[in-house]
Amino acid sequence: METAPLLEQRYQAQTGMHQLARTAHRGRYTRIQPQTEAICAETRATDHRSTDAMENAGALSDETLPRRSAAGAALNGTTKGVDGCGFGGGDSDSCRKLVRNPFVRRDRTFRVGTLVRLVFGLIVLLPIRLLLSVGCLVFAWILVFLVTLGVSRASLAAHPLPRWRRRIVFGVLRFFSRFLLLVYGFWRVREFGDLGSRQNLSSGTLIVSNHVSFFDILYFIYAFAPAFVAKKEVLRLPFVGTIAAAMQSIFVDRERSRTGGTAELIRMRLTSADANAYPPLVLFPEGTTSNGDALLRFHSGAFLSGVPVRPLALRYGFWDFDPAFVGLTPWRLACILAQPWMSLTVHHLPLYEPSPTEMERPRLYAENIRALIARALQVECVDMGYRDRVQRNLSRIGLHMVEVIPVERATERRDPEVAAEDDALRSALV
């Protein structure tokens, strides 16, 4: 039976958690109470003893343990406790921390200055920006259509474009992408890290990054002139489908990606004899967008190919409205496009060569890449993904995604004796 002091500690810890939950939606972090930290520390100590027992019993391979320890040592110095990320070391406590939901908006509280900027943006900036965006999209589509005239989509998917066609296509797209970034208030893009990798980036390279907003696409086109791994539905979008096909993007559907189809397409593209004739390939392993406060679960299908990857980390700054594509409504989108200024910071990480163990275990490969990006952004890794985003949207209208057992299956699961009694009772009633 718990003593009174321990009960008081647990009560105060729960109170601190509730306070954090109440303030998270306003975009602020609240420090967890010391009692909460003590209980979490006690729980982590228990977890360490269990992990040590597994290691002594040989449950973890000798080749994996040094890599785990190195990742954990590298991540322990971050300010937001990224040590709980993926396979990162012995201080893993990602399941014991309270973090803000990565699918909530981080818009700032309305003030007088916010209202003044919003009115000015909606009346002056938004119409101009929309007009320029439509004009750029149509003009780029016309040029791309003319350059790729006579080349079928099947040929674009199977063979690289001739050099002269590719230079024109990506030259046009890079110009318009940077122009649109300027139009929407990204006056300067700050880049850190291995900047030489951007200039020396060869064709046939796989780039992985966190996914926050549509502006990610504009930056990557401007910086690398790449192809993308995109949903098959993109091909049906007006203008955008033609441009994406001309960029020689890889289009996949969700069902095929679950069966390893995406990995096979990536492997064929990057290891083919004419791989250097293709543009670099950009992939968002999270599979959806988040607000950037945490890294979602990485899909391991893309890492089945076992090819080296170039990790990038994106972080956005904003004046009033978060540019992240989460919780979007037409009104929120208009507010994002109407604000005068936004910023983008990009961290270029060195090329990552997978170890033999990672090539055999794509989940380990994905988690190690996620840990590197999380360290650069100084954020947490969370066990959430596209399904959690859908569930959050459903909960707003009173729905919840659950497994429904058909009546026939439920009948088969009944205890035989109970089923016999029910059948006898039913026969007697008839």
Q: List pLDDT tens digits, range 234-277.
A: 988 999 999 999 999 988 876 655 555 667 778 888 877 676 78
Secondary structure E strands in 134-267: 189-193, 206-209, 227-231, 250-252
pLDDT of residue 203: 64
What is the tens place of the pLDDT at every residue in 168-182? 999 999 999 999 999
Distance between start and end Cα atoms, the chain: 53
**Cβ neighbour number for residue 377 with a 10 Å cutoff:** 21
**Among the listed residues 290, 314, 301, the one whose alpha carbon sits nearest the alpha carbon of residue 252:** 301
Report DSSP state, residue 13.
H
Cβ atoms 242, 145 nearer than 8 A: yes
Cβ atoms 243, 140 nearer than 8 A: yes
What is the tens place of the pLDDT at every residue in 40-64? 444 344 344 333 433 343 433 333 3
Q: Which of residues 156 and 95 earns the better pLDDT score?
A: 156
How far apart are the C-alpha atoms of 248 and 223, rounded to whole Å? 17
- What residues form DSSP beta bridges with 208? 283, 311
- What residues form DSSP beta bridges with 282? 207, 228
Q: What percent of the chain has pLDDT over 90?
A: 41
- pLDDT beyond 90 at 137: yes
How far apart are the C-alpha atoms of 146 and 167, rounded to whole Å? 14
What is the tens place of the pLDDT at every residue in 191-240? 998 776 665 566 668 899 999 999 999 999 999 989 998 888 898 899 99
Among all chains, which residue has been given the structure tokens 């994106």? 314
pLDDT of residue 18: 39
Cβ atoms 197, 348 nearer than 8 A: yes
Average pLDDT rounded to a whole number, residues 333-341: 94
Report residue 397's pLDDT band, with 50, 70 and 90 as the boundaries: confident
**Cβ neighbour number for residue 273 with a 10 Å cutoff:** 6
Report DSSP state, residue 235.
G
Cβ atoms 81, 92 nearer than 8 A: no
Report DSSP state, residue 64.
H
- pLDDT beyond 90 at 312: yes
Average pLDDT rounded to a whole number, residues 91-120: 80
Among all chains, which residue has been given the structure tokens 């009173």? 398
- Which of 10-14, 53-57, 347-351, 396-400 is least confident? 53-57
CA angle 359, 81, 47 (to 5 degrees): 75
19 token code pair: 């306070």
